[in-house]
Every structure is written in structure tokens, then in C-alpha cells.
Amino acid sequence: MELGIISWIEEENFRKAKELGLSFVELDVNDRAEEFLSHLDQVISFSKAYEMPVGAMGRWGSDRISKDGIRQEELELEYRLIDAASRLECGVYITGCNYVEELSYYENCSFAIAYFEKLIARGKEKGVKIAVYNCRWNNFVNNPMAYTVIHGYLKDLYIKYDTSHCIYDGGDYLQETKDWGDRFIHVHLKGSLVIGGKRFDDPPAGMDQTNWGAFLSALYAKGYNGRLSIEPHSETWKGELGDKGVDFTIKYFRGLIL
């Protein structure tokens, strides 16, 4: 397994990842897709200059479907991002699908499958695999029922997994890893802390309640040998404290990666 970090497109981001001894950066463009695309040549040059590959790209939160089906403007933008991933020699593009309340679960799944089929086809042309994030941010493809229907049908659709989302939703991340780990293609390392039954903070991974040793053991058992991407996500761990938290997580996981 390789250790990397979620980052951004500035030269400083690539330089810092290199100084930390990490193996890759992850770029999640979200609402900054056009900014990313307009600076793509520069990002490619930074990646090459610092020998810091982009291990995954993703886009969270947007409405991919409506009650009338696929939103074409979203599809076209994701095609452009898949093409950009290919130019970066990044083999993983992460996406999701919103739930339309006016539609039944079956109809939502049908539209999501149709949407992902198009992304998978584009990805195959470009050498990029498509994964769905398990974050709940405007995405319903995040649980075993959705995986059974959608991933059960789409054999070339993968999962970007983050234990914290399962934990905060009251799920069993070890069971999900046992059942679906063979479809995991990218993993986030984000700490989670629940106090009194409520989400309290997202401390550095390794300084939280997740049983990371058991989780990595389950990943090894499922044959996972992909990337582990550190996700600093806390409102507490910022600035100098945040840097110390990242340093801690790097040291902690280096002790777990075989």
C-alpha cells in the first residue's frame, strides 16, 4: 500500500507532499473543476517536477441526475475531468450520484447505472477506472443496498472507501470491507470521534476511535494493495496543530503498512 494526501493544484502542495515523503497526492476538484482544468498543464508540470503522481481525482456534491434522467452538462464536465485524469496518468476518477426525491429507489438506481455506464465507457477509452465515493454528500450510492443493486450490475464500477462515513451513519465498516473490499480501489484515512452518540470531531487518523489495525487487516485479507489517502478534515486540527496531526498520521500508518 502507498501513503498519500488530499491536496490541491499549487506548486507548494506538491513540494510539501514530497518533503513529507509521501507517494502521491489526491486532487478533489468539487466546485473548483474549471479552475483545475484551466491550470491542467501547470499541474502536470508540478507533478513531473516533484515526481509526485496524482493518485486519484474526484468530484463531490453535484447533481448528476434529475427526475428526467441524466443531466447532460454534468456528464460532459465529468468527461472532461476523466480526460484530464488520463493526461495526468491518474488511473482513478471518483464520483457519486444524488438521489431525486420525486423518483422511486428503482428509478434512481436505473438513472445512476445509466450515468455510471457512460463514465465507465469513457474511462476505458482513457485508461481511467471509475469509483463511487461513500460520502453522504449528495450521494446515495454509499451503503450495502446500493452496492448490491448498482455495483452488483456494474462489474467495472469501484468504491472509494472512507471508514468515517460509515461510522457516523451507524454502520459497520469492517463488515462493509469484508463484503465489498474486493471493489475498493482507493481509501481515505480520516479520523472519527463520536461522543454521546454524536459526531464530535475528525481528529488525525490514528488518534481517533477507528480500529485502523483491524481495518487494514481486512484490506489485506481482501487483497487490497492500493493507495491510502490522508484527509485532514478537522476544525480543531488547523495550522501548526494540523501539521503535527498529519505528521502523526504518517508515522502511525507507516507502522501498519507492510
Average pLDDT over residues 141-170: 98
Dist CA 195 CA 178 (whole Å):
26
The angle formed by the CA atoms of residues 79, 134 and 248, to the nearest 5 degrees, is 105
pLDDT of residue 157: 98
- For 81-111, the pLDDT digits (tens) are 999 999 999 999 999 999 999 999 999 999 9
The angle formed by the CA atoms of residues 104, 108 and 112, to the nearest 5 degrees, is 170
CB 70 within 8 A of CB 114: yes
pLDDT band at 41 (very low <50, low <70, confident <90, very high): very high
Average pLDDT over residues 240-244: 97
* C-beta atoms surrounding 76 within 10 Å: 10
pLDDT of residue 225: 95
Q: Kindly give the pairing relationship between strand 92-95 and strand 69-70.
A: unpaired
Q: Which domains does the chain have, with CATH numbers?
A: 2-255 (3.20.20.150)
CA 239 to chain centroid, in Å, comes to 24
CB 74 within 8 A of CB 62: yes
pLDDT of residue 154: 98
CB 195 within 8 A of CB 236: no
CB 158 within 8 A of CB 115: no
* C-beta atoms surrounding 258 within 10 Å: 5
Q: Kindly give the pairing relationship between strand 227-230 and strand 2-7.
A: parallel
**For residue 136, which of 27, 60, 74 has the smallest C-alpha distance?**
60
Provide the mean pLDDT of the chain. 98
- Contacting residues for 70 by C-beta, under 8 A, at least 6 apart: 64, 111, 114, 115, 118
